[in-house]
Every structure is written in C-alpha cells, then in structure tokens.
Structure 1
Amino acid sequence: MQDLLQIEIWQGKTVADVLTLDFLISAAGSVFAAAGILVLGWIISAWLQGRIRALGRKHKNLDDMLFDFLSAVVRYVVLGFAFLFVLNTFGVQTTSVVAVIGAAGLAIGLALQGTLSNIAAGVMLILFRPIKLGDFVDVGGKMGTVNSITLNFTELADLSNAQVIIPNAEVWGNVITNYSANPTRRAEWTFGVGYGVNLAAAEKIIRETIMADPRSKSDPEPFVQVNNLGDSSVDFLVRVWVEAGEYFVYQADMKRKVKEALDAGGIDIPFPTTTIVQATA
C-alpha cells in the first residue's frame, strides 16, 4: 500500500500528495482561476469587438466591413491568449502547445491550399478595398454589383440580377475594373454623316442636342470633332462627362436623341456602301 501511494501520477505528485487537503485546495484554486481567466477573456474580447465595430460605424468614411473583420481578429487573439493563460494555470508548458499547434497548422495548410489562398485573398480585399459593397465592377469578364465580400468568395449580382460567386483568389489575381470608383465618367460616341453635309451645321446639332440634356457636364469641356474620314461617312468623335451612376442610361439616350436631331435637321446619315467594278474581257 505504501508503494502505491508513492507512485507519481501528475506533475511530480504522488497518490499520497493528491489525497492531501492542501493539494485539493490548490487544484480547486487552479480550476477557479482558469474559469475566471476564461470569463474575463470572453468579456474583454466581446467588449473590444464591440468598440472596434462601433468605431467603424461612427464615421461614415470608414468601411464597416473592414472594421468587422478587424474586430473579429482582435476577439480571437484575446481568446487565444486567455486559453494559453489557462494552460499555464494548470502547469502545462505552453511552448510545447504552441509547437504542436504550429505543426498541426502546417499540415492543415498543406491540405487546404486552395481554401487558404481564397482566405488570404479575402484578407487582402478587405484590407486594401479595391472594391466595396455596392460597386459596379468587372472581374475577369464577370460584370455586376458587389453584394458581399467574405473571406472565401465575392458575390456579385449581374445585369440580369443573377447571383455570381467568384472565389477570392480569382478576384485578387484578376484585373478589376471598378466603374463606381470615380464619381464621374466620360461617355463616348461616334456619329457618321454624309460627305456632302455641312460639317459645321452637323457639329452644332450634335453639340446642342447633347448639352441640352441636364445630365451632361460642361466642365470639363465636351469634345466634338471630326475624327475620321470613313469609306462612306465623315465621323464625329464625341466625348462628354456624366455622373457615374447615370452613365449607361445616358449613353443610350444620347444615341437616340442625336439620331433624331440629325434627321430633323436634314443631316444625312449614310448607309455603308460598296462599289463593285466588273472587268470585261
């Protein structure tokens, strides 16, 4: 019996030590201390997460999505340190735990390379914000409005309101065209008139028709000039600035209005013509 009591069972403690009142009190104290650390870590992490989120929503020029991500990172970091303190409370060597976690993380990383690349790209998208919620973008030939950006994928609503899911690695690794990044855009058209037309009169009709629309901006100065002498027409290149949100509808409206104005002014808009020369024997 005496030999059994001397067997070491935990952290240098023998059965006899475990049965002593002092050890039981010490173990109970460690349990209560660990519980207190966990509760305190949970409270502090939740408070920090809430404060960081509130900071992002307090200022309109700050991105809510970025602060949501940062708040989540801060919370998990605090909880991770709390867990390490708990292990220290029970006498566990945290250096070995960290080494085990590192080895496990390496194995998991090798098994989930594709997923982790999407997560890494998601972090870059959230931090550097080349696109934001509500932006109208073109990503690798996929065009639509950004509905959400998660750590794994970006969701777009295309022109027909269909849902388009793009892995973040493809978003970050592709050319991104953001049509909403700048407040204004420059609309551009080419209008062809006949060679027998009075070019000054045609230019006046085109300019007055476009600038009569309240969406057209006079600053910067609109550009209306003959740009090309085509096979069957003299081509005017027209460039006018407009609000980015009105670009597509505005560009379509002006094509129709200019066509109708040129018809009303008697300005010929020629069809493409082809002259066939037949050789005789």
Structure 2
Amino acid sequence: MNLDPQDAWVAVQDGATQLSGLVVSYAFSVLGAILLLIAGWLIAGFVQRSLYAALSGVRGFDATLARFLSTSARYAVLVLVMVMVLGQFGVQTASIIAAIGAVGLAIGLALQGTLQNIAAGLMLLFLRPFRIGEYIEVNGIDGTVEEIGLFATRLRAIDGTYVLAPNSNLWNEPIRNLNRNGVRRNDLTIGIGYDDDIELAVETLLGLARADGRVSTDPAPAAFVSELGDSAVSITLRYWTSDKDFLATKLDLTKAGKLAFDGKGISIPFPQQEVTYRNGAPQP
C-alpha cells in the first residue's frame, strides 16, 4: 500500500498540533500546580503563625495546646492544597478524599493507644485539672507537674525522681490536686494516757495552734478526743493552713506537741497489754 506524501505530511501536522496542544495543556497544569503549591505553602505558614499568635494572646491559654492547634491547621491547609493540585491533572478528588479517610482510619486503629493519650492530653489541656507547678496524686502516681505534653505528663516526685505518666492514665482516674484550692486541713493526733488530764492536753494543743501564725483563724483550730484506744486516749488537733506551709507546719506542730506534753507531765504511752496469771498460767 503506497502512502501519498501529501497525506503523510497532513498526518504529521495533525499529530504535531495535538502534541503541542497536550504540551501546552499540561504546561499550564504544571504551572498552575506549582503556583498552587507555592501559594498553599505560604498560606499554610500564615495560618499557623496567625492562629498561634491569636491563641497565645488569650489569657491562660496553654502554649502546648496553641502550638498543636496551629500546627494542625497548617497541615490541614497543605492537605487541601495537595488535593487541589491533583485535581489540576484530572485526578478525581472524591477518590483521593476517600483514600485519605481510609488511610486515616488504618493509622487510627494502628495507633489507638497513642491517639487515646493525645485525646486525654487535649482534655487535660482544655479542662486544666492541674497546672505546671501543682502537686497531684493519681492512682499511685504523685509529684509536682513540670510539663503537660500531648502524649504524657512529666512530674517530679517528692524525692526528686523523674516520673513520666501517660495522659490516658491521668485522665481516666480521679485526680487529687493538693495545691488548687490554696489551703489544706490537717489532723494531728497524739495519744495520751488514761490517767492524764484530757482538758489540759486539749488546751495545750490549741495553744500551740493559736500561737503559730501559719495556722488559719477562719476556720479556727479545734482539738477534741477522737478515739479511746487500747492503751491511749487519742487527742486530735484539727487546723487549716496554706498548701505551701502544710508540711512545715505539720512537722513543727508535731514536735512542739511532744515537747509541750513532756513539759506539762502529759504522757504519750506506747501500746501495752495486761496479762493476768492464775494458778501459774496466763489467762486470755
């Protein structure tokens, strides 16, 4: 079969025209994609900085939470830009969104424990059951809060040791914050002998509490008989003090109580047991 040179030339021209159209079309698509990427990158950075500045300007708003939300907003903008870029080349964005959702679900199932800690961290940052510098007790975990992260909370135990507690462990248990209210109550109990003067012991402890400037006068300290034990009458001094003075006041009043009782002849008995012998044998 002989091909007419004129027809061949026409076919070549048609092919070149179609090829040049495709090149121009894809060139514009590539150029548009590049411009979208540049604009999206700049917009994402602007959104991150603006949101972080706005949240940081809110009084009492946690810096960690502000950083997390601003970074999340930045990545959300970048994901949207990538979907738009793929749309420039004729890719069905609906399928892309469905694929992103499927990948997100798979990642969520694989990182279920980690995401649980993140969710707990966000709740801790929003509701603020404790703040940095406060002393907390949570199901055997106790210490001064040094950092509240998205995955875990760092504490310093009373003996100075380092404690890293997963946020989910803190969020799912009752939290005892020893500093939040600013004041704490203490019950100082000292046992005296049954033959000692109860009223003298009560007034002695009350006098010690009233003389200590760290003890609150409202509510006023109180002293009372709290228990009749096997070998001692328990006298309890109940008083309130600031959370910062709690431990020092407790130690000082315990020592002062012992010295005051010794000075006034009030005994502090140790456990005793009387054994009665009948016919040379101890009786129950």
TM-score (norm 2): 0.84
Aligned equivalent of 1:11: none
- Conserved? CA contact 1:48–1:75, under 8 Å: no
Aligned equivalent of 1:99: 98
Structure 1 residues 51 and 85: alpha-carbon distance in aligned structure 2, compared to 1, 3 A threshold: farther
Alpha-carbon displacement from aligned partner over 1:241-279 (angstroms, at most 9, x marks no partner): 111122122212211111111111222222221101223
Aligned equivalent of 1:117: 116
Secondary structure of residue in 1 paired with 2:278: coil
Secondary structure of residue in 2 paired with 1:267: coil
Q: Indicate whether 1:51 and 2:50 are aligned.
A: no
Alpha-carbon displacement from aligned partner over 1:131-182 (angstroms, at most 9, x marks no partner): 2211111122021111112121111111121111122222212232211221
In the TM superposition, 1:198-217 aligns within 5 A as: 198-217=197-216
Following superposition, which runs of at least 4 residues in structure 1 exceed 6 angstroms of deviation? none
For 1:256 and 1:181, locate their aligned partners in 2 and report how far apart those are by CA, in whole Å.
28
- Conserved? CA contact 1:215–1:242, under 8 Å: yes
| Unaligned runs of at least 5 residues, structure 2 | 1-7
Percent identity for Structure 1 against Structure 2 = 34
For 1:52 and 1:87, locate their aligned partners in 2 and report how far apart those are by CA, in whole Å.
32
Structure 1 residues 269 and 152: alpha-carbon distance in aligned structure 2, compared to 1, 3 A threshold: same
Structure 1 residues 114 and 32: alpha-carbon distance in aligned structure 2, compared to 1, 3 A threshold: closer
For 1:217 and 1:26, locate their aligned partners in 2 and report how far apart those are by CA, in whole Å.
78
For 1:278 and 1:43, locate their aligned partners in 2 and report how far apart those are by CA, in whole Å.
90
Aligned equivalent of 1:248: 247
Aligned equivalent of 1:149: 148
Secondary structure of residue in 2 paired with 1:269: coil
- Conserved? CA contact 2:136–2:175, under 8 Å: yes
| Unaligned runs of at least 5 residues, structure 1 | 7-13
Q: CA RMSD in A?
A: 2.7
Structure 1 residues 28 and 117: alpha-carbon distance in aligned structure 2, compared to 1, 3 A threshold: closer
Q: Tell me by how many angstroms 1:83 deviates.
A: 3.6
For 2:214 and 2:230, locate their aligned partners in 1 and report how far apart those are by CA, in whole Å.
33
TM-score (norm 1): 0.85
- Conserved? CA contact 1:45–1:76, under 8 Å: no
Structure 1 residues 69 and 35: alpha-carbon distance in aligned structure 2, compared to 1, 3 A threshold: closer
Once structures 1 and 2 are overlaid, which stretch shifts more, 29-38 or 132-141?
29-38
